[in-house]
Chain A
């Protein structure tokens, strides 16, 4: 420990600055899509306000107490001619002081904490309510007018958005860190969440399930897309009237989607034969930016890989466990069929 006395305060400040660099990096939402300290909504701003207060207080206490400790260790380290030091048994005044001061600091923290708890609790009455259902391992969203989508949830930027949260199976937790803090989803009860996007925050926001929900918990992500009111209106009307299959290959895919049994579990708006509800709704799938609940970019390579071996991408998923095309080798998709299905799904725009 002898070298400790050579450390100068300036060097310590330098080290502190280096330690703080990654914190600054954590603020950048482009490099860290799940960052918790780059708020883009009123609710997230409220949390951030409280976080800053407590972070500053905690940092001051941290530096103060650790400095005191380090100072005591250096100053009172044993020297060759030390005798037995004075046997001090305590000091009531000091002990009362360090009982009361922390208590006051904690009260100072508690007041804004309670304020924030109540500020972000109740869903405002005028919120645009979207029904969310968590499934192992994907998300389903139903809009007030009955449109359904999965994993890529569009919301309008000009109003307060609310969510009713339910689960189809086990516990999940709904979280888009830049827009709102997490809310667990519990079987048997409907939890709620809400937020209002800040002005000018149209864009893509990554989210993830954060309650362990089985072996593909890590792959249960989602994206929330904050649209301008016009884009949002266009998207919802598109959900109701999808474009017809454009190419011959896609038309083959259209037929395969029924003959291979996909329709038993998946719905696609505009198709009367595809009304299954076990798997994600695939309406407008071709216009989605990601697939596999926001785990992969939605492109031909990834979609082909997904249809070939979904188990490899999302272990334990119901489709690879129970769809006949994956459980019965006689019914397995060949490469041509996969190409046709890819073309069809990509045509759903």
Chain B
């Protein structure tokens, strides 16, 4: 992304805009978005490689390419990497880059906190992955069900890397979420009421609230797990009065909202792309927004559908079955509104649109298979089989990843000033779409044939051999598709077609400014009178809500006088101290004081850092 770096740097007015130091100290939301995005794509490739190894081991019966122990580490780290280090930060990358641009603001509410969130994420991710080097990665599944995670059944440090790594990542996401909530609620341009916000920003707001409410639940669980392992506090130990099921309740009370944390950003993205490439407004904006909000609320009332087979009793599972099925109603509303956004439009099937349509067609499949195991008796046959693996990958790969890919192709020109290659993009799309279906489609069948999840081997005569071979072939197609994607990014950065401000004839504010945007985003804070201010500005005759007759056009400020926050190195110091503290706990809790001291030093420096040299009151 070197030239993206240069491109954004060059457009800025302030000095010292390039070089490694400027990236370490940056508090610019666009650059932090780039940092999140590049890191997330690298972790996506890592998580994908882990999945690729899993698929190679399972390509044939009785294979011994990978040992059972390493296999357990791979499927655990694959899930943790994809959830916490790829899809969530990719969502954060879009939130960072787009929220201020879409609401007509110059930065997020707390720029240094934003930088802290990123560095905590990076160091937390490194801490989690360093376990591969220091004695073995977590290997009890990403859900880490007690009591397999106790110091009896998981001796060694692997589960401590899990707890402490996720704690650091949790602080990162929580800080970022609070930052986005405050930014969206307080920093919208004049006239942009909540019901005029772009749907992507709406979904960012919903996701941020979900994070604020869901992450503390996981944090409580992780601290209990930590205390159990370090100080023998038996929260999850049946023999000492604890309950292993308590962990499952805590984990899924976080874990189900987490699913919506992963999918809603993609839903926001396609809600921007479908209208743009259909040249029509989103069908039923209000319904789409409220359906997203409803999904978020209901997301907290369905967690026990992950626990239909643990023995909760018929009344409880009947109730959770009903709440789970209910969540299909707002999801269905969204799907039909998206389809009727296309209806009567003029559909331009370029790469962002292809990925959005891919999202739509695949997410439908994931939704319908979800209805099947929302029925607890059926779940008794499907739970923990490959049918569920198929379901969750249609939702998270077919849904989240396809949607995020659509977003990358869509906003890449805004970020870098250059278009991504359309030819390679189309090839990339079809390889992903076909590869995804060849990999995950047969998993429905092999799951119906009873293949359990998380097994490193299976016997000849199981009837699963051919379908597993097919799935592994699909993984190869996906891997090749990802190579094309990376090649496309590199080529487009170097010599992609110059984009201009508005290459897609788009509808929201970010397309009204230059590509890449200047450091201060808007020289004139825009005045907003409708849901699609930029489209209505281009086509005033078609606008539903028109500016009042006495509306005054916003006046541009002189860029030299626009005050932007100064760079700061304190966020990275605080983040380094916190992650070091977490890592040292594993070595020796007393040593953790060193990390704590660095954190305190960083916080001290942060507090007394002057807001800016030209500050004079």
A interface residue numbers (CB < 8 A to B) = 1, 22-23, 25-26, 28, 31-37, 46-47, 50-51, 54-55, 58, 61-62, 65-66, 68-70, 72-73, 76-79, 82-91, 94-95, 98-99, 102-103, 106, 109-110, 113-114, 116-118, 120-121, 169-171, 173, 177, 180-184, 186-189, 191-192, 208-219, 295, 315-316
B227 within 8 A of A: no
Q: A76-B345, A191-B311, A212-B145 are in contact. Are A31 and B463 (CB under 8 A)?
A: yes
Quick check: B311 and A95 within 8 Å, CB to CB?
Answer: no
Q: How far is the CA of A300 from the CA of B335 in the complex (A)?
A: 59
Quick check: A36 and B381 within 8 Å, CB to CB?
Answer: yes
Q: How far is the CA of A79 from the CA of B347 in the complex (A)?
A: 9
Quick check: A184 and B461 within 8 Å, CB to CB?
Answer: no
Quick check: A102 and B332 within 8 Å, CB to CB?
Answer: yes
Q: A84-B539, A88-B281, A95-B333 are in contact. Are A69 and B357 (CB under 8 A)?
A: yes
Quick check: A1 and B349 within 8 Å, CB to CB?
Answer: yes
Q: A32-B462, A72-B342 are in contact. Are A216 and B68 (CB under 8 A)?
A: yes
Quick check: B244 and A188 within 8 Å, CB to CB?
Answer: yes
Q: How far is the CA of A215 from the CA of B325 in the complex (A)?
A: 35
Residues of A near B239 (CB, < 8 A) are 187-188
Quick check: A218 and B456 within 8 Å, CB to CB?
Answer: yes
Quick check: A35 and B463 within 8 Å, CB to CB?
Answer: yes
Interface residue stretch chosen among B10-18, B83-91, B203-211, B365-373? B365-373
Question: A315: shortest Cβ distance to chain B, in Å?
Answer: 5
Q: How far is the CA of A89 from the CA of B458 in the complex (A)?
A: 53
Q: A89-B285, A117-B317 are in contact. Are A32 and B450 (CB under 8 A)?
A: yes
Quick check: B68 and A315 within 8 Å, CB to CB?
Answer: yes
B40 within 8 A of A: no
| Nearest B residue to A171, CB-CB | B145
B361 within 8 A of A: yes
In addition to A69-B360, A113-B376, 7 A-B residue pairs with Cβ atoms within 8 Å of each other are A35-B448, A66-B364, A177-B381, A181-B381, A192-B311, A212-B72, A212-B141
Quick check: B377 and A171 within 8 Å, CB to CB?
Answer: no
Q: How far is the CA of A157 from the CA of B326 in the complex (A)?
A: 40
| Nearest A residue to B442, CB-CB | A22
Residues of B near A315 (CB, < 8 A) are 67-69
Contact of A181 among B147, B380, B463 (CB under 8 A): B380
Contact of B325 among A25, A78, A109, A211 (CB under 8 A): A109
Q: A36-B385, A54-B375, A171-B145 are in contact. Are A62 and B345 (CB under 8 A)?
A: no
Q: A23-B445, A208-B452 are in contact. Are A62 and B364 (CB under 8 A)?
A: yes
> Which of B72, B463, B464 has the largest count of A CB atoms less than 10 A from its CB?
B463
Count class of interface residues, chain B: 35 or more
Question: B544: shortest Cβ distance to chain A, in Å?
Answer: 6
Contact of A76 among B278, B380, B462, B464 (CB under 8 A): B278
Q: How far is the CA of A215 from the CA of B281 in the complex (A)?
A: 53
B318 within 8 A of A: yes
Q: A31-B463, A69-B361, A183-B311 are in contact. Are A117 and B542 (CB under 8 A)?
A: no
Q: A26-B445, A31-B463, A98-B332 are in contact. Are A217 and B454 (CB under 8 A)?
A: yes
| Nearest A residue to B332, CB-CB | A102
Q: A54-B372, A89-B281, A188-B243 are in contact. Are A213 and B384 (CB under 8 A)?
A: no
Q: A102-B328, A183-B311, A218-B458 are in contact. Are A188 and B380 (CB under 8 A)?
A: no
Q: A98-B332, A213-B148 are in contact. Are A87 and B372 (CB under 8 A)?
A: no
Quick check: B376 and A184 within 8 Å, CB to CB?
Answer: no
16 A-B pairs with C-beta separation under 8 A: A22-B442, A33-B461, A51-B381, A68-B339, A109-B325, A177-B450, A188-B244, A208-B452, A210-B383, A210-B385, A212-B140, A212-B145, A212-B148, A212-B454, A213-B148, A218-B458
Q: How far is the CA of A295 from the CA of B147 in the complex (A)?
A: 25
Q: A54-B371, A106-B325, A177-B450 are in contact. Are A182 and B463 (CB under 8 A)?
A: no
Quick check: A102 and B381 within 8 Å, CB to CB?
Answer: no
Question: B153: shortest Cβ distance to chain A, in Å?
Answer: 6
Contact of B377 among A69, A110, A117 (CB under 8 A): A117
Residues of A near B311 (CB, < 8 A) are 183-184, 186, 189, 191-192
Question: B366: shortest Cβ distance to chain A, in Å?
Answer: 11
Quick check: B368 and A214 within 8 Å, CB to CB?
Answer: no
B336 within 8 A of A: yes
Quick check: B280 and A85 within 8 Å, CB to CB?
Answer: yes
Residues of B near A183 (CB, < 8 A) are 309, 311, 380
Residues of A near B153 (CB, < 8 A) are 169-170, 214
B346 within 8 A of A: yes
Q: A22-B467, A72-B342 are in contact. Are A47 and B380 (CB under 8 A)?
A: yes
Quick check: A95 and B462 within 8 Å, CB to CB?
Answer: no
B287 within 8 A of A: yes
B611 within 8 A of A: no
Q: A169-B153, A187-B238 are in contact. Are A78 and B346 (CB under 8 A)?
A: yes
Q: How far is the CA of A192 from the CA of B311 in the complex (A)?
A: 8
B interface residue numbers (CB < 8 A to A) = 67-69, 72, 139-141, 145, 147-148, 153, 237-239, 243-245, 278-281, 283-287, 309-311, 313-314, 317-318, 321-322, 325-326, 328-329, 332-333, 335-337, 339-340, 342-349, 357, 360-361, 364-365, 368-369, 371-372, 375-385, 442, 445, 447-459, 461-464, 467, 539, 542, 544
Q: A183-B309, A212-B454 are in contact. Are A46 and B377 (CB under 8 A)?
A: yes
Q: How far is the CA of A53 from the CA of B296 in the complex (A)?
A: 29
Quick check: A69 and B339 within 8 Å, CB to CB?
Answer: yes
Q: How far is the CA of A42 from the CA of B378 in the complex (A)?
A: 14
Quick check: A78 and B347 within 8 Å, CB to CB?
Answer: yes
Residues of A near B377 (CB, < 8 A) are 46-47, 50, 113, 116-117, 120, 181
Quick check: B333 and A210 within 8 Å, CB to CB?
Answer: no
| Nearest B residue to A89, CB-CB | B281
Q: A54-B375, A170-B147, A316-B68 are in contact. Are A37 and B542 (CB under 8 A)?
A: no
Q: How far is the CA of A65 from the CA of B246 in the complex (A)?
A: 40
Q: A26-B449, A215-B72 are in contact. Are A117 and B365 (CB under 8 A)?
A: no
Q: How far is the CA of A299 from the CA of B606 in the complex (A)?
A: 71
Q: How far is the CA of A216 from the CA of B72 in the complex (A)?
A: 10
Question: A252: shortest Cβ distance to chain B, in Å?
Answer: 32
| Nearest A residue to B354, CB-CB | A1
Residues of B near A47 (CB, < 8 A) are 377-378, 380-381
Question: A322: shortest Cβ distance to chain B, in Å?
Answer: 14
Q: A76-B344, A212-B148 are in contact. Are A62 and B357 (CB under 8 A)?
A: no
Residues of A near B368 (CB, < 8 A) are 58, 61-62
Contact of B244 among A37, A187, A209, A295 (CB under 8 A): A187
Residues of A near B279 (CB, < 8 A) are 82, 84-85
Question: A112: shortest Cβ distance to chain B, in Å?
Answer: 8
| Nearest B residue to A23, CB-CB | B445
Residues of B near A216 (CB, < 8 A) are 68
Contact of A66 among B325, B361, B372 (CB under 8 A): B361
Residues of B near A46 (CB, < 8 A) are 377
Question: A59: shortest Cβ distance to chain B, in Å?
Answer: 8
Residues of A near B337 (CB, < 8 A) are 90, 95
Contact of A184 among B140, B310, B313 (CB under 8 A): B310
Question: A298: shortest Cβ distance to chain B, in Å?
Answer: 14
Contact of B147 among A35, A173, A187 (CB under 8 A): A187
